[in-house]
Amino acid sequence: MFYFKRAIGSLFIRLCLFVFVGVCLAPVLWGLVTSCLPQSALTSKVPDFNLRNFTLENYVLVLDSSRGLFLGLKNSFLVALFTSIVALTFGSAAGYALARLNVPKSNTILMMILATQMFPGIVIAIPLFLAMTQFNLIDTHVGLIIVYLSFILPIVVWIQKGFFESIPMDLEKSAAVDGASPLQTFQYIVLPVSLPTLFATGVFAFIESWNEFFFAIIMTRVNVKVSSIAIAEFSGQYQTLYGQMLASAVLASLPIVVLAILFRKFILEGFVEGAVKA
Amino acid sequence: MATLELLNVKKQFGSVTAVENFSLFVNDGEFVTLLGPSGCGKTTLLNIIAGLEEMTSGEVRMNQRVVNHLSPFERNVAMVFQNYALYPHMTVAENIGFSLKLRKRPRQEIMERVAQVARMLELEQLLDRLPRELSGGQQQRVAIGRAVIRQPDIFLFDEPFSNLDAALRIKTRGEVKLLHQKLGVTSIFVTHDQEEALSLSDKIAVMRQGHLEQFGTPEEIYSKPASKYVARFIGSPQMDIFEGQFEYSNNRYVYRIGSIALVLPHSITIPNKPIDMGIRSEFVKIGETGFPATVHLVQPVGPFTYITVYWEGGSATARVNGISHLKPGEVVQVEFASEALLFFDRESEKRIDLW
């Protein structure tokens, strides 16, 4: 009876996981299939998923540089790259300080950082827009990076603080006894030990920034059109080019997918290390 | 090589006093253990000696020189941490040689000295491994190697055996003692394990809530504990301490514990205050003479058997050699060796000599 119950339980968990994976993958599959079908097959009353219609025409069309996808990808890349570099640099410095140095009122600071995460984007969108206008930062890379940092940096601070706390204090004491200056301790001990986590956090910041749409559409016009905006523009006033839109979406997802696959070991290691005390 | 002197060292964390008025003198080459339960301030004190923690007031001197404001490195101390604190991303060789690398010693010299230390600690086969690929005992040896290579004036050990299993702990204990005999470097060892302290140390400093309770050789600490606290903390099983009272009967002084009265030597001087009496299990004898008591508990531990007996108003544990065949409920004759009785002022808990 016990084994039977356990088998049923295991079956149930598998079933749940199966459904979960299905729910996650279905839109991706739908997008992949759609990106390979001609507009005519998609705009008929009942979408025609017949594989006879299979075509790569959408990809050829969107890869035509005049369509702006390339420019979008380039902009997205620049913004995501600098967002993650700045977020990592300041986020880990702040995280280290909050975890290790006796910063006065560190708990208050941490709660304030956390509080910034409690407002939905829509609430801060208008004040941010006004501020950016004041500083002439609308439709600039710098402006978008600053806006992204406003919600990515706090998360990075928290992740890094959690991680630095998980490094045994004795490691740093030991380095001090061995004769390392604080800077050498950071260089030879803390930094190498933190690399997987820094990497994971960096990838996280990159993905967050790359996928962002809401602030991008508010804060940019023509100069800094990121890929998510470029994709959305396939939906026009008179028609929506579903095939091309999804072909662009697939192309825009590729860097993230590649990033995740290449560095999945680091990402998992990093997040696990951040979560569990050593 | 160095002498170490602590003068009225005090450390406060906010309103909590971790170490109070602590003074101690350690001779060159001595092995001294700071012994006490967790939270008594011994690790804080070790960190103060190392220079990893600033003290609130007081002085630390090495070779008569005040080192309060020197970094751990400048004090030339080496420390072995409780969790070893091996650098996880460095190989064994890199771990051991790290301090030399920081001092920018030539590569060749670092390699030679690492090899020398590795030979001494039998780590030669493991030099290219990462710490996570080592067993607990091997990690421990690497941690010691990292300390030894520095050729420090003082070794500091912060409960270095607490993560090892019982058998390995005793083996490593022996290795540390051998190392001390060989190198003769002044060593400060922190532990809460009284057996470790007794077996390793030239002198033991028993700590209680940030105070120094007693400082002396293992023998003094064991057989002449300064207080009830030390008496109870040292020795296994714990010393039996009785709250009885003196009586005068048949021209002799006796000490009454419930239904029994222990006859005391004629030379005794009875103080005019309540006195507790203590005795260690090896001086509680079960045999032909003495007072009757009932066996309550029989605990064989191999070379000895601990037998707990009770009588009306008291109980005590006796240590007998070998395996005992006594059964709970049996009535036996129990005798306390009067020369081994210890007396404590009930009020101050200090030990007092009565003859």
B291 at interface of A, judged by CB pairs closer than 8 A: no
Mean pLDDT (whole number) for B121-148: 92
Task: Convert the pLDDT of each residue in B13-36 to its tens digit.
Answer: 989 999 999 999 999 999 999 999
pLDDT in tens, A115-156: 888 888 888 899 999 999 999 999 999 999 999 999 999 999
Q: Which CATH number fits domain B4-233: 3.40.50.300, 3.60.15.10, 2.40.30.160, 3.40.50.12640?
A: 3.40.50.300
Residues B87, A168: C-beta atoms closer than 8 Å = no
> Looking at residue A274, what is its pLDDT?
46
Q: Which long-range contacts (CB under 8 A, 24 or more apart) does B104-109 make?
A: none
- What average pLDDT does the structure give for chain B? 93
Sequence ranges of chain B with CATH classification 3.40.50.300: 4-233
Domain with CATH 2.40.50.140 in chain B: 240-352
* Angle subtended at Cα A121 by Cα A116 and Cα A123, rounded to the nearest 5 degrees: 85
Look at residue A30 in the predicted model and tell me its pLDDT: 87
Instruction: Check residue A46 and give its pLDDT.
Output: 72
- Closest CB to A168 among B47, B71, B83: B83
- Substitution target in B44, B102, B114 with the highest count of A β-carbons within 10 Å is B102
- Most confident option among A44-53, A92-101, A268-277, B340-349: B340-349
Choose the closest CB to B50 out of A177, A192, A193.
A177
In chain A, pLDDT over 70 holds for what percent of residues?
94
Domains in chain A (CATH in brackets) are 57-277 (1.10.3720.10)
Is it the case that residue A111 has pLDDT exceeding 60? yes
Q: Do the chains contact at B102 and A184, CB–CB below 8 Å?
A: yes
Give the residue from chain B lying closest to A175, CA to CA: B99
- Segment B36-41 shows an average pLDDT of 92
pLDDT at B154 over 70: yes
- Please report the pLDDT score of residue A67 as a whole number: 66
Is the pLDDT assigned to residue A204 strictly greater than 80? yes
Contact B99 A192 (CB under 8 A): no
Residue A278 pLDDT: 35
- pLDDT higher than 60, residue A1: yes
Which residue intervals of chain A are DSSP H helices? 2-35, 39-43, 57-63, 69-100, 106-115, 121-134, 141-166, 169-177, 182-184, 191-211, 214-219, 227-232, 242-262, 264-275
Residues of chain B neighbouring A173 (CB-CB closer than 8 A): 47, 50, 52, 79, 81, 85
pLDDT digits (tens, 9 = 90+) for B238-288: 999 999 999 988 888 999 999 999 998 888 888 889 999 999 999 999 998
Whether A171 and B85 lie within 8 Å, measured CB to CB: yes
Inter-chain CB proximity A178 and B83 less than 8 Å: no
pLDDT (0 to 100) of residue A275: 44
User: Would the CB atoms of A177 and B82 count as touching at under 8 Å?
Assistant: no
Nearest beta carbon to residue B89 from set A178, A184, A193: A193
- A window 154-193, beta carbon within 8 A of B: 168, 170-171, 173-180, 184, 188-189, 192-193
How many Å apart are CA A242 and CA A239, to the nearest integer?
9
B78 at A interface, C-beta within 8 A: yes
Q: Which of A166, A167, A172, A178 to mutate to test the interface with B (most CBs of B within 10 A)?
A: A178
Measured distance between the N- and C-terminal CA atoms of chain B, rounded to whole angstroms: 42
SS3 of chain B: helix, strand, coil, percent, to 5: 30, 35, 35
For residues B206-227, give the mean pLDDT: 95
Please judge whether B73 and A176 are an interchain contact, meaning their C-beta atoms are less than 8 angstroms apart: yes
User: What's the rounded mean pLDDT across residues A242-256?
Assistant: 89
Contacts of B100 (CB under 8 A, 6+ apart): B109, B110, B113, B114, B149
Q: What pLDDT, on a 0 to 100 scale, did the predictor assign at position B195? A: 92
Q: Which of A169, A177, A198 is best to mutate for the B interface (most B CBs within 10 A)?
A: A177
Order across the sheet with B186-191: list the strands: B77-80, B154-158, B186-191, B31-35, B203-208, B211-216
For the cut 80, the answer to whether the pLDDT of residue A53 exceeds it is no
Contact A170 B81 (CB under 8 A): yes
CATH of domain B240-352: 2.40.50.140
Question: B167 at the A interface (CB within 8 A)?
Answer: no
Q: How many Cα atoms are found within 13 Å in the side-chain-facing hemisphere of A140?
A: 10
pTM: 0.78
* pLDDT tens sequence across B285-305: 999 899 999 999 999 999 999
pLDDT for res A276: 39
Q: What is the C-alpha to C-alpha distance for residues B97 and B146, in angstroms, rounded to an integer? A: 7
Q: What is the pLDDT of residue A60?
A: 86
Q: According to the model, what pLDDT value does residue A66 have?
A: 64
The rounded distance, in Å, linking the Cα atoms of A29 and A56 is 16
Closest CA to A247 of A48, A53, A41, A32: A32
Size of interface A-B (CB pairs under 8 A): 54
Across the interface, whether the CB atoms of B150 and A178 are under 8 A apart is answered: yes
Confidence of residue A271 (pLDDT cuts 50, 70, 90): low
Strand partners, B255: B246, B262
Q: Check B103 against A188: CB less than 8 A apart.
A: no
Which residues between 234 and 273 in chain A have a beta carbon less than 8 angstroms from any beta carbon of chain B? none
CA distances to A137, A218, A223, A237 from A214, rounded to whole Å, are 17, 7, 17, 19
Least CA distance to B72: which residue of chain A? A177
The two tokens of residue B218 are 């293992």
CA-nearest residue to B74 within chain A is A179
CB-CB under 8 Å, B52 with A177:
yes
